[in-house]
Each structure stands twice: as structure tokens, then as C-alpha cells.
Amino acid sequence: MSVSNKTRKSSNDIYRLPLTNKKRVVIVGGGFAGLKLAVSLSKTEYQVLLIDQNNFHQFQPLYYQVATAGLEPSAIAFPFRKVFQEMENLHFRLAVAYEVDIGKKVLNTSIGDVRYDYLVLSLGADTNYYGMQNIERYALPMKSVSEALAIRNLVLENYEKAMSTNNDIDASNYMNIVVAGGGPTGVELAGAIAEMRKFVLPKDYPELNFDLMRVVLIEGSGKLLSAMSPRSSAKAARYLKDLDVIVLLNTFVKDFDGQQVYLNDQTVLPARNLIWAAGIKPNRIKGIPEICYHRSGRLEVNEYLVVKDLHGVFALGDMAYMSTEDYPDGHPQVAQTAIQQAKCLAYNLKRHSRGKSLKSFNYRNKGSMATIGRNKAVVDLRGIKFGGFVAWFVWMFVHLFSIIGVKNKMLIFINWAWNYFTYDQSLRLILRSKKVEE
């Protein structure tokens, strides 16, 4: 196999990729799945091109700490080019993928067309507003690091506005925070906000009456953390109650006008801050036949992660739907699924290039966990369920271990230690792209 220094320059391919007779794997989306696959295919017989709309990988489980001023965005994001340094068959392009031409094996992107031999779709998922336009317009989603930063900005701006009103009802309206969705994201956010109310905000805004501030968590089903054991779910509810979070179960948000949250039981909650953590929908790409999609919106894949009837096209992570005996409704849309699928596909692509047999994907559930606040977390690990300080410590260790980059690990560790001992995150900056006059 020869690799020349000449670069490709033709109308149906992108510039500056080394000319080679290696088969090309194009990966769309550098999340947990895409990045793991790309790195696992370094030093192989493939030329690998990763395309992402951002030039960095994002660690989604810690978005809520950016939103609540506990971490800087840079601590949970990592540039792809830094990861790919010295991996000569891995290439990155900053681009948005638009459409696939299955027949021609070409992907259309914002920087032009890209030819592929194998295409891997790992575009993840986006916020699902279930068709509620007002909520999409006014609520705050948290599916990217910039959206997490937007939450931090808006919440802090609303506190500044609360300071400039003489009316307690208006002030509490600015201060109240409603979180929709009682999964791990909603629970972790509500807990972190309640801790800010307890330890941080009264010191920053001594003129405000924090008895007026409500933190409300709304969940449509009958329990929080529905994917976890009843015991962990009940424990999480108790921890939130201890932090004075109002938890409303079997309740849905029906509407939001930017000032009041309307619930299905006719309750109206005055709040300017509605954070939407109530659902996701898989991202889509044009050109994939409708028949390939499961009714959940995920792409149906076989046991080798090949998209239904599409030879040479794979889907991984939040986008992929594989029905198995243990998981008839598909695997959980979590980081472990994405990472394990990427490892399986990397293994199979290597075997395939040597003409060897492939192995089917088999998900290993490593357990789940959620933290509710200082010394408070719940962990379900294969039959063992525990909470409190030990669970909180395990949660921190696992997340610290999972984040990419030594510098990021150290930054996060220092931040956490600082927050733990001082009860103060001190990252409460309102960052604006331009001067705002009101």
C-alpha cells in the first residue's frame, strides 16, 4: 500500500487528503461513538476521515456543571486535531454533513462532496420538543456545550434582573427555575441548582430573598431516573427533597411563554427559566431511505451495525436501533452503548480487511449512576445498589476517568476540590457575544 504526499483535488472529493489506495472510512460525528471508532482505526489498513460540525469532542455527562457554573466549557471539550496528532491515517474536517448518495458512495457536506468506501453515521441526537413550538422557542435545551453556556448566561442574567425590580413577585419569577425531565440530566441539574441556591446565590445576591426561589423538577412518569432501580429512584427523590426541590411526578409541561410554565393539570408556575431535559430525537441525514428508520427515529442496524439493506453504511450510538432478546426496544442511548458499538465495529472492520469472520455486537451493561449533589449520588452496578458518599465518590471517579485529556482531568479535579472545600464555584460570568443594551 502506498501513501503519496500528493493531495486529492477533484470535484467529487475534498482537498488535501493524501492519495492512497487504502479503503476510506468516513465517520460523521465525533461524539462518544465516532471518536472511539476513529482512534481505534488508527494504525490500520484504512484511511479514516472524521467529519464533525464542531472542531471538538464534547463530554455530555458534565454539561450540567457548565450550566450551573461549576466548570468552564473548555474543561469538557477536546479538539479533534489534538487527538489526531501523530495518527497519520486519521484526518479531520470541520463540516456539516448534509446528504448521502448511496449509489455513488458520496457524502455531501458544507465543504463539498466526500467519497467513501465505508460510511459510519454517528450523529447522535438532538432535543425533542414533541412539536411544542413555544417550548422550542423559549425553553433552554442542553444538547451542546454552547447550550449549557447559554443556560448559565440566561439564569445569571435573570438574577441580575431580579435585583433591579422592587416587586417580590417579579423577582421570584426571575429567580424560579423549572427543569422538565426527571432522567439523570434533569435530576443532576435540579440538584446542582438547589445547591447553588443553598450555598452560592445568597452570597452573590444578598439583597434577594431566597425563600422566594423555587426549584421545580417535572417528570411525566411515576418515578425519577426511570432506567434505574426503584431503590435508587426513591433515594434520588429523597435527596432532592432534602435540598427543597419540588418534584412533580406524572406531570407534563404543556406550554411556556417565557414567563409562565403551563402544566397538564392546569397548574401555572411563574418562572422565566425553563430548562428542557425531557427528551431526545435521533439526528437524521438526507439520502437514507425511509425504510431504514425504525419508528423511534433511529436507524435500524443488524448485529454487525450495518444499516438495514445498506451495504457499507453503519450507524452507531444514539442513532442506531438494534433489537435483541435482552433489548427488544433497542439499547439504552448512553455513552457506554456508543463506545462499545464503536469498539465492535472497529474490530469487525479490521477483521473484514483480513478476510476474517465478524463478531456480533453484544452490549455489556456496566450499570448506571446519577449525582444529586455534594456527597449524594445513586449507583446501580449489576445487582449492587448504593447511595450517599460512596456512590458520589464512585460517580466522580468514573467521570474523571472517562474525560479525555490529562489537562481536562486535572482542571476538573481542581475545580471539584475547590468547590468542595469552599462551597463556591466562582465561574459565574455572563459571557455575551456582543454588547447588549436593554
Ligand X SMILES: Cc1cc2nc3c(=O)[nH]c(=O)nc-3n(C[C@H](O)[C@H](O)[C@H](O)COP(=O)(O)OP(=O)(O)OC[C@H]3O[C@@H](n4cnc5c(N)ncnc54)[C@H](O)[C@@H]3O)c2cc1C
Interface residue with ligand X, options 46, 63, 116, 276 (CB under 6 A)? 63
Nearest CB to ligand X, comparing residues 68 and 251: 68
Interface residue with ligand X, options 333, 348, 408, 425 (CB under 6 A)? 333
**What are the Cα distances from residue 366, in Å, to 112, 115, 379?**
40, 37, 11
Among residues 356, 340, 392, 371, the alpha carbon closest in space to that of 236 is found at 371
Q: Is 29 an interacting residue with respect to ligand X (CB under 6 A)?
A: yes
Q: Is 55 an interacting residue with respect to ligand X (CB under 6 A)?
A: no
**What are the Cα distances from residue 100, in Å, to 10, 95, 115, 223, 289?**
18, 14, 10, 41, 10
- Annotate each residue in 337-366 with x if it binds ligand X (CB under 6 A) or - if it does not, as one string: -x----------------------------
Shortest distance (Å) from residue 6 CB to ligand X:
27
Q: Which residues within the stretch 5-24 sit at the binding site for ligand X (CB under 6 A)? A: none
Candidates 60-68, 173-181, 222-230, 294-302: pick the segment binding ligand X (CB under 6 A). 60-68
Q: Which three cell numbers stand for residue 195?
A: 445547591
- Annotate each residue in 163-202 with x if it binds ligand X (CB under 6 A) or - if it does not, as one string: ---------------------xx-----------------
Interface residue with ligand X, options 41, 69, 142, 224 (CB under 6 A)? 142
Q: Is 310 an interacting residue with respect to ligand X (CB under 6 A)?
A: no
Return left, alpha or beta for 13; rule: phi > 0 is left, psi -120 to 50 is alpha, else beta.
Answer: beta
Beta-sheet strand order (sheet of 376-381): 368-373, 376-381, 384-387
Nearest CB to ligand X, comparing residues 52 and 219: 52
Nearest CB to ligand X, comparing residues 28 and 171: 28
Shortest distance (Å) from residue 265 CB to ligand X:
27
Query: How many Å apart are CA 145 and CA 57, to the nearest integer?
Result: 10
Its sign, for the CA torsion 207, 213, 215, 218, is negative
Is there a contact between 180 and 275 (Cβ–Cβ < 8 Å)?
Answer: yes
The H or E element containing residue 255 is: strand 253-256
Among residues 119, 25, 122, the alpha carbon closest in space to that of 310 is found at 119
Q: Is 28 an interacting residue with respect to ligand X (CB under 6 A)?
A: yes
Shortest distance (Å) from residue 354 CB to ligand X:
26
Which residue is at the shortest CB distance from ligand X? 31
Query: How many Å apart are CA 46 and CA 44, to the nearest integer?
Result: 5
Residue for cell digits 452490549?
Answer: 363
Q: Is 278 an interacting residue with respect to ligand X (CB under 6 A)?
A: no
- Give all strands (DSSP E) within 60-207, no chain letters: 77-79, 90-94, 97-101, 106-109, 112-115, 118-121, 125-127, 140-141, 177-180
Q: Is 33 an interacting residue with respect to ligand X (CB under 6 A)?
A: yes
Count CB neighbours of 189 within 10 A. Answer: 25
The H or E element containing residue 198 is: none
Q: Which residues within the stretch 359-398 sit at the binding site for ligand X (CB under 6 A)? A: none
Shortest distance (Å) from residue 423 CB to ligand X:
24
Q: Is 317 an interacting residue with respect to ligand X (CB under 6 A)?
A: yes
Shortest distance (Å) from residue 51 CB to ligand X:
5
Read off φ and ψ for residue 275, nearest 5 degrees. Answer: -100, 130
Nearest CB to ligand X, comparing residues 341 and 419: 341
Nearest CB to ligand X, comparing residues 13 and 126: 126
- Annotate each residue in 85-124 with x if it binds ligand X (CB under 6 A) or - if it does not, as one string: -----------xx------------------------xxx
Interface residue with ligand X, options 25, 31, 182, 208 (CB under 6 A)? 31
Q: Please report, as ranges, the residues that interact with ligand X according to CB under 6 A.
A: 28-34, 51-54, 60-61, 63, 96-97, 122-124, 142-143, 184-185, 283, 317-319, 333-336, 338
